Amino acid sequence: MLLALLAEIIGTVSGFGSSILFVPIASLFFGFKTVLGITAIFHVFSNLSKIALFREGIKKDIVIKLGIPAVVFVIIGALLTNYIPIAQMEFIMNIMLVVLSIFLLFYFNKPLQQTNKNLYLGGIISGFLAGLLGTGGAIRGITLTAFQLPKNIFVATSAVIDLGVDSSRAIVYIAQGYFDTANLYLIPFLVVTSLVGSFIGKIILKHTSEKVFRYLVLAIIIASAAYQIMQYIKAAN
């Protein structure tokens, strides 16, 4: 649970959720489909905590334009988990994340245009990957970072979108048997972890500048994606 707490703190500070760290941690103890179910439920509590703590920063137009496509495509991705080979897709996604994050580091002061097209595309890709792989927050994080949103707006808006995404995929996963009743004992721990982790993350954010926050988001994405790539290569050998 300490590792889950760390994932939640980092997920709050980075603004795109704990799944990018929680998924590989949980995979050490559970099968992949069970991990998907646990992660989705954990994220529901996590997002509710962030919304309560950062509710003043919610940007409704981004929630609608990025969030609705994300919810639609997370359901599609979740339904496809039984049919598409996951490992190869995850490997390709992580390579793309590293490349995109490094690109944004060098073009840090050139924000992405806040067009409807970019919001819809970010929602579609992040939602689909969240349903299929259990983690799509990094794509959403890259989209919101490129828009150079203030940190409180970033975290609050991302949490509202993520709540819709995780609630939708949790229903699909539970219907497909990914969360067994034997794991119900985890729920109180997930609730406490999400509350404490989000609160600590908010305290850290209060003392973090906007520039440091954006660099931190990209650094966490690069580190997490690079770790996943190394794990894939290690398993392949």
For the chain, the domains span: 2-236
Rounded to the nearest integer, the mean pLDDT of the chain is 81
Instruction: Please tell me the distance from the alpha carbon of residue 46 to that of residue 177, in angstroms, as a whole number.
Output: 22
Q: pLDDT of 185-226, one tens digit each?
A: 888 988 899 999 899 988 988 888 877 887 777 787 777 778
Q: pLDDT of 78-97, one tens digit each?
A: 888 777 776 676 677 677 76
The CA angle 13-102-44, to the nearest 5 degrees, is 35
User: Is the alpha carbon torsion for 6, 9, 13, 16 positive or negative?
Assistant: positive
Low-confidence ranges of the chain (pLDDT < 70): 1, 15-17, 19-21, 24, 86-87, 89-90, 93, 97, 100, 103-104, 107-112, 134-138
